[in-house]
Structure 1
Amino acid sequence: MDDTSFLGSYTVGTDAGMCCLWQPEHFAHVTSYDVWEDALGNDPAIERSIEAGAFVPLYLHSDGVYQVTLRTGARTPREKRYTTASSEPYLLVSKGAVALSGIEAVGADLDAAETIALAPGRYAVEVHLIDWQAEPGSTDADGNAVDGALPDFVVEISPEPDPAPPYRRTVETFDLPEE
């Protein structure tokens, strides 16, 4: 695997069930809870930001702390082996950097977010859910991840192809299984 494709591995927490990759400039006006509520407090508001290419949800409907790996290339064979769900591509427009955080940290104050340099441009972003615990040797005797364990998510960020694909526009990152 080409190491230049690896943007980083980050620990991201959420108390709202959703982590996200987002464009800081799009949310620079979010300086209070009331403004946050208008911008992100319901699915239609979030979906407007998704359609604008400013927000990619990593939505599991579960609070917690997650390990997220970002790459500009394809997943490794090991990551592919333990992938349990993959999203359709989302549009992400970068103006030079993107942020990664829980949804509750989206806004003008970037202190609670990871800021990642990403060349200006339009990107197709696919989110992959990894069952890292299924890999033999990934946990210690207490069930905790060992060094070198796979992340919870691998996010592939690729320059937008021509022609652009149909982009996913929903808050739900993954298609839910039918009951």
Structure 2
Amino acid sequence: MSTAETDRPVSRFGVVEPGDLPDDLRQRIEAIAEKSGFVPNVFLALARRPAELRAFLDYHDALMVPAEDGASGSSLSAAERELIVVATSGANHCTYCVVAHGAILRVRSRDPELADQVAANPYGVALDPRRRAIVDLALLLATDSASLRDEDIDTARDAGLTDEEIWDVGAITALFAMSNRLAHLTALRPNPEFFLMGRLPR
């Protein structure tokens, strides 16, 4: 990351440090920081509205953390969920989410090239039929959701996606459409740590 970029504020609306948050949110953010080694800037920016941060985290976790007991009925993998975020965030020109979730996708997929390829050209990247169907449906919902037809759902089903997985594709796309726009609103700066994550074997 360039010096000019690191000198830019994290958010044009300022940030709130975890220690200044309500206890429940502070504990959640500290747990994330302990696991990753740093606090993602999105949480510092959204913390100015604690109730909204709490709701965002709850919905994020409901969609992005696969239920261990399969209660949701969806078997989208963690990497497939991140694939949706990177493809649609690229389509929405959201630098923060492409950088942050590109890093997570590299880690989850164990592929150092996939995230960059998907972010740069999600329509042209070589994917297996299942992932192609996931990305195509997500991109349609991200860029022209009003044009969605029954035939588009049928195409996803023909590729092997269940209705619960199709719902997850749509819900993840919708959540990150909001996240992308909040990142634009706040001029959210990616953490430097994200840029190198998952690029080299550990």
Classify the TM-score, shorter chain.
under 0.3
Q: Which has the larger strand fraction?
A: 1
| Higher radius of gyration, 1 or 2 | 2
Q: Which has the larger helix fraction?
A: 2
TM-score scaled by structure 1? 0.27
TM-score scaled by structure 2? 0.25
